[in-house]
Amino acid sequence: MPRSRNTAPRRARRHPVRHARRQALVDYQLMIDSIQDYAVFLLDPRGKVLTWSQGARRLLGYTSAEIIGKNFSIFFSPADRRAGKPRQKLQQALTEKNSEDEHAMRRKNGSYFWTRGRNFPLWQSGKKLCGFVKIAHDITHHKQTDEQLKQSEERYRLVVENTSDVIQVLDIQGNYVYASPSHHRLLGHQPQALVGKNAFTLIHPDDLPTVQKKFTKAVHGKANNTTYRFRHKKGHYLTLEGTSTAIFNDEHQPYLVVSTAHDITARTELEQQKDAFIGIASHELKTPVTSLKAYTQMLQRRFLRRQDHEAALYLAKMDAQLNKLTNLISDLLDVTKIEAGRLLLHQELFDFDTLVKEIVDGIQLTTQHHRIIHHGSLGKKLYGDRDRIGQVLINLMTNALKYSPEADKIIVRVLGTKDAAVVMVQDFGIGISPKKQEKIFDRFFRVNDSRSNTFPGLGLGLFISAEIIKRQGGNIWVKSIAGKGSTFSFSLPLMPAPLARAVSPVSAPQPVRHG
Ligand code: ADP
């Protein structure tokens, strides 16, 4: 039949086009469905959902039947809807090119999640608006992380801004990168004005070498404490005590140093007043004790002449106690001299072996419990303060006797190395635990345990000894095993030590381990 013959080619001509369109729609749906992390919507010009992606269904929890044909305002909160936000968003897409859009979307179950995306207008023939494509993805996780980050930053900011400590972030040349607000409260400097300024320019010139040395150490990864004077905006100085720590990048290179410090001006002044008081009190005590000693010795001689041995014995005991008192006063005076940088040394050339022998013999006379064994000699003269070096040896030996009440000997060894004289005083007494050994040369430090508390003392002898040895250019150190005994040693350079000079009151002596 001609009709049917005619229709077949016509249908065949139409079908490929329809088929291609249908195929294009299927491909388009497949394409938008494959964008799993995104919700893609096709909206009409008023916001009605014409079609949407699988990602959108998954994120929002509706079926297509529940959504297709509904206005996309269903995904907004009632408050946003009342405020006309959905319409505003579409309007924005028409007026602002590339406008990014962030808002909360409501799921079917009433819960919300944050989305970020874009709304693109669709123009027919470039003129007539025929709808929008809305693309959004879930940023709830980023939002939460951002929020947590913001909160944690806020907490740190509050801590940094309200702490009374001074916080400085410096580059590795010492230039300010950040100064905390406490710079203004405490030191009178506007934090912003400090940025870029070199922190060393504000340090007291006398403290600068130590501060620079410690800063270099910090840059090399050794966090450390320093006490220094910092110039207030008005010109006077405050004493700060602080710690510096370097921050390293991924290549392990230091690029910042964080320093925190607190004001110890009042405490330092109080300590200076206390030292001054100890100095005056010890000085005032010295005169009456010296006359008491003179009268005691005079009476002792008188009683001996009268053959009153009992009275002479009591007076000898009194004289021994007065010696202890004199030693305590001298220690206190020495400490105040050290703190004020006034411990002067009188350098001379002297025979070291004679000094050691005199002291060993003298101390042997004071004890019947212990035998003092003396080994070795130097065989050379030394240049230094004979009395002060003798004072160190006496201190180490009297400690050795005092802290080994159950032992029957102490050993004093003298030896010479290529460039130093070394003395070791060994006892077999109570010993010192490793942790306490670190502090043993600190001022007023006494080991505080049930055993050591039974021994009298002020905790000054080793501090003074360490200061004297350090001032002579030598080292002092201890090796000890708790319960077994200790060996205190010091070394002195054979080369002439630098002449007496005032010592910085800021630096405490460090026990330096040797050999
Ligand atoms: P002190 O007057 O208290 O003896 P020192 O400065 O001489 O002061 O010693 C400090 C502390 O070190 C002592 O209190 C003691 O605890 C400990 N010490 C010193 N020498 C010895 C030693 N030979 N054996 C054990 N402990 C010692």
CB 163 within 8 A of CB 101: no
Q: Which amino acid is present at 276?
A: A
345 is written with which tokens? Answer: 């040394």
Q: Pairing relation of β-strands 371-375 and 409-416? A: parallel
The alpha carbon of 281 and the centre of ligand 1 are apart by a number of angstroms equal to: 24
CB 479 within 8 A of CB 486: yes
Report CA Rg, the chain: 43
Q: Which amino acid is present at 329?
A: I
Compute CA 383 distance to the chain's CA centroid, rounded to the nearest angstrom: 41
The alpha carbon of 158 and the centre of ligand 1 are apart by a number of angstroms equal to: 46
| Ligand 1 pocket test target in 446, 476, 487 with most atoms within 8 Å of CB | 446
Rounded to whole angstroms, the Cα distance separating 123 from 131 reads: 7
CB 398 within 8 A of CB 410: no
Cβ of 429 below 6 Å from ligand 1:
yes
Q: Which amino acid is present at 317?
A: K
Rounded to whole angstroms, the Cα distance separating 389 from 473 reads: 12
Which segments of 232-318 are extended strands (E)? 237-248, 254-263
CB 444 within 8 A of CB 464: no
Ligand 1 atom closest to residue 452's alpha carbon, by position in its atom list: 16
The alpha carbon of 430 and the centre of ligand 1 are apart by a number of angstroms equal to: 10
333 three-state secondary structure? helix
Rounded to whole angstroms, the Cα distance separating 89 from 141 reads: 23
Cβ of 403 below 6 Å from ligand 1:
yes
Rounded to whole angstroms, the Cα distance separating 232 from 429 reads: 52
The alpha carbon of 377 and the centre of ligand 1 are apart by a number of angstroms equal to: 26
Cβ of 430 below 6 Å from ligand 1:
yes
The alpha carbon of 459 and the centre of ligand 1 are apart by a number of angstroms equal to: 7
Burial class (CB within 10 angstroms; exposed 0-12, middle 13-18, buried 19+) of 125: exposed
pLDDT tens for the 515 residues of the chain, in order:
444 445 455 555 557 777 887 887 788 888 888 887 889 999 999 999 999 999 999 999 999 999 999 999 999 999 999 999 999 999 999 988 777 888 899 999 999 999 999 999 999 887 899 999 999 999 999 989 999 999 999 998 898 888 889 999 999 999 999 999 999 999 999 999 999 999 999 999 999 999 999 999 999 999 889 999 999 999 999 999 999 999 999 999 999 999 999 999 999 999 888 888 888 988 899 889 999 999 999 999 999 999 999 999 999 999 999 998 999 999 999 988 888 888 889 999 999 999 999 999 999 998 999 999 999 999 999 999 999 999 999 999 999 999 999 999 999 999 999 999 999 999 999 999 998 998 999 988 888 776 666 787 888 999 999 999 999 999 999 999 999 999 999 999 997 645 434 333 333 333 333 32
Ligand 1 atom closest to residue 404's alpha carbon, by position in its atom list: 24
> Rounded to whole angstroms, what are the CA distances from 124 to 35, 69, 121, 132, 266?
25, 21, 10, 11, 80
Cβ of 443 below 6 Å from ligand 1:
no
Instruction: Find all residues with CB under 8 Å of 271, minimum gap 6, and list them.
Output: none
The alpha carbon of 457 and the centre of ligand 1 are apart by a number of angstroms equal to: 8
* DSSP H or E run through 176: strand 176-179
Statement: the pTM of the whole predicted model exceeds 0.75 = no
* DSSP H or E run through 101: strand 101-106
Backbone φ and ψ for 6, nearest 5 degrees, come out as -75, -40
> Rounded to whole angstroms, what are the CA distances from 479 to 267, 276, 356, 511?
34, 34, 21, 11
> Rounded to whole angstroms, what are the CA distances from 421 to 33, 424, 474, 476, 512?
88, 10, 9, 12, 15
279 is written with which tokens? Answer: 């100095």
Nearest to 257 by CA among 228, 202, 227, 215: 215
- Quickly count: other Cβ atoms within 10 Å of residue 442's Cβ: 15
Cβ of 440 below 6 Å from ligand 1:
yes
Cβ of 458 below 6 Å from ligand 1:
yes
CB 211 within 8 A of CB 200: yes
Q: How much is the pLDDT for 29? A: 81
Rounded to whole angstroms, the Cα distance separating 332 from 443 reads: 11
Rounded to whole angstroms, the Cα distance separating 325 from 286 reads: 9
Rounded to whole angstroms, the Cα distance separating 297 from 312 reads: 9
Contacts of 280-286 spanning 24+ positions with Cβ under 8 A: 281/332, 282/329, 282/332, 282/333, 282/336, 283/333, 285/325, 285/329, 286/326, 286/329, 286/333
Cβ of 427 below 6 Å from ligand 1:
yes
The residue written with tokens 């000699």 in the block is 377
